[in-house]
Chains A and B, each alone.
Chain A
């Protein structure tokens, strides 16, 4: 009987889930029959009480959530086992605040414009820099209010995917 706690990344909704058997699950105390067939490493047909769902589920290790897509609607959920929760408690890690704050390059490209300096305070949504890739200029924005701790690139430098651009604190 594996127990899990699932929360949505963009809301406070939380669910307690217990896998009772290979065909029975309890979610927040309510029991469901289910049947699952994997079609590829990330795609499944899931039948829950005979209702069909054609689902893709992909882990996003950078930001620590799973993207579940049903009918092209994407939900971002954080799925933790009992063990995960125990580990977090022991290491004193606070759950919930796991949006990674450093800025890494989402793709290879060129830094067209750098708007920030070290020590500068930025607000959520501020444009930190402009990255040119795929013939388009892309604005990279702050994910939350923070301070620029370190600027790791210069204007017009070319960067690789996942290269650290800015450290924020």
Chain B
């Protein structure tokens, strides 16, 4: 096993990785940008090295500098977390060339699976169903139009180097295709530096269901069950759960075997996630492989009892998988909610600022993966996700109830968050029935009016009195400040007071 690793990431995922490393007696090296100089993860690591300025292009994406720090500190391996350099084949290769173990798959597997067209070809070759569409990146408008007509509308345009919903557009009819294509290409160009796209059949009301896999470097592969990630807004997941309400043992086995076949064919090792979309008839199609640890990995950890970061470290150090497929047992129900710094009452505008107060009562059946503390700032430089709450119980109802309770007791002041929005999702009938899909929030969901009204006597009294007490406190503080100023200015007030004695 490694004695020291470097974590090429920040925030909650850096904290998450450092925790497991500590548990295993492995020393950790953090790297940070100007902004993160005193962020939680830098304090928890054994060593911390400055990378550069706050924008990620000047810090967390500086592959050369990260490799240099790893060499200087004697770190034997680099954990890339998610985002940043985690799915960049060139970085995995740089690690290898410098004698540093990349905690993830080899660069060849990253490159094959990172190219959506290659991945799709691999799926087809291995009898894994895929959505009908093009298998080559396209740039020419006329060709794109004729292919779209062949597949039949609606079609989906996707950036070939894309991810996270950027450079993606649904086109419902031919009249819209030119403008949609231009927008997708400009987003793709600015986000990924590559404006080639591909087109596929658009599946109506799909569910997003993904399978966690573990593969060692000796050819053994197991899956750890599914995660239902259909609760998305603008292609960003916000609530994930496992098991999926539509899953049964047969479907799980079938999809799990497909997931295993595809990573095996790619020569994959370490932890990875195979994403599928599932239509209303439970027909599933391969989407892509995420060649890294996922944001939502905790729900799989809780349902299997495994620590995925620990498994990653063991695999990377050359160990064989310690469990076979038959050893994996699932229990209970788990839900994750992503708390984001955004104003859900104002078009989900990202919210920045200083967190002046932060308290929560996790209580039984809850876990939090977070990278923030009270007095931290939330900046414009990085992802707005600040924390993940994970609930678990023997069944789905218990897990939902625990999550709702913990969200209500999560007090964060100084930034706006989506907590109220998460609560309204958890309380809507469709979620309770498990009847939702990736388009649900944008197309179906009606945010219930959960405002307090004057007619609700006790709560109304609390709201009114709280606003008055804040005002009273502020005006009495202003009074004190004025008095102190008078005191400092000295004599006039004092003299007056004395003359009245």
The answer, among B384, B410, B413, B463, for a CB contact under 8 Å with A40, is B413
Whether the Cβ atoms of A70 and B383 lie closer than 8 Å is: no
Question: Beyond the given A11-B454, A73-B420, A79-B467, could you list 17 further A-B residue pairs with CB under 8 A, ordered by the A residue number?
Answer: A4-B471, A11-B453, A15-B464, A17-B464, A30-B457, A32-B461, A36-B469, A68-B462, A70-B462, A71-B409, A72-B419, A73-B451, A77-B464, A79-B468, A81-B471, A134-B352, A136-B350
Is B493 part of the contact surface with A, judged by Cβ < 8 Å?
no
Whether the Cβ atoms of A56 and B413 lie closer than 8 Å is: yes
Could you tell me the distance between the alpha carbons of A41 and B384 in the complex, rounded to whole angstroms?
25
Could you tell me the distance between the alpha carbons of A108 and B77 in the complex, rounded to whole angstroms?
36
Q: B361-385: contact bitstring with A at CB < 8 Å (1 yes, 0 no)?
A: 0000000000000000000111110
Residues in A64-91 with C-beta less than 8 Å from chain B: 66, 68-75, 77, 79, 81
The stretch among A44-52, A93-101, A114-122, A144-152 that forms the contact with chain B is A44-52
- For the complex of A and B, the 6 pairs showing the least CB-CB separation, nearest first, are A13-B454, A79-B467, A71-B408, A134-B350, A53-B462, A57-B470
Could you tell me the distance between the alpha carbons of A69 and B352 in the complex, rounded to whole angstroms?
18
Is B35 part of the contact surface with A, judged by Cβ < 8 Å?
no
Is B295 part of the contact surface with A, judged by Cβ < 8 Å?
no
Closest A residue to B455 by beta carbon equals: A13
Give min CB distance, B482 to chain A, whole Å.
16
Q: A130-161: contact bitstring with B at CB < 8 Å (1 yes, 0 no)?
A: 00011111110100000000000000000001
Whether the Cβ atoms of A13 and B413 lie closer than 8 Å is: no
Interface size counted on chain B using CB atoms at 8 A: 50
Chain B residue numbers with a CB within 8 Å of A57 are: 466-467, 469-470
Chain A residue numbers with a CB within 8 Å of B407 are: 72
Is B450 part of the contact surface with A, judged by Cβ < 8 Å?
yes
Q: A4-21: contact bitstring with B at CB < 8 Å (1 yes, 0 no)?
A: 101010110111010100
A residues within 8 Å of B by Cβ? 2, 4, 6, 8, 10-11, 13-15, 17, 19, 25, 27, 30, 32, 34, 36, 38-44, 46, 48-49, 51, 53-59, 66, 68-75, 77, 79, 81, 106-109, 133-139, 141, 161
Whether the Cβ atoms of B472 and A73 lie closer than 8 Å is: no
Whether the Cβ atoms of A46 and B467 lie closer than 8 Å is: no
Give min CB distance, B454 to chain A, whole Å.
4
Could you tell me the distance between the alpha carbons of A71 and B405 in the complex, rounded to whole angstroms?
9
Could you tell me the distance between the alpha carbons of A75 and B383 in the complex, rounded to whole angstroms?
27
Is B356 part of the contact surface with A, judged by Cβ < 8 Å?
yes
Given A55-B466, A79-B468, A40 and B461 touching (CB < 8 A)? no
Whether the Cβ atoms of B411 and A54 lie closer than 8 Å is: yes
Residues in B337-364 with C-beta less than 8 Å from chain A: 345-352, 356-357, 359
Chain B residue numbers with a CB within 8 Å of A4 are: 464, 468, 471
The answer, among A73, A107, A134, for a CB contact under 8 Å with B452, is A73
Chain A residue numbers with a CB within 8 Å of B474 are: 59
Give min CB distance, A140 to chain B, whole Å.
8
Closest A residue to B56 by beta carbon equals: A135
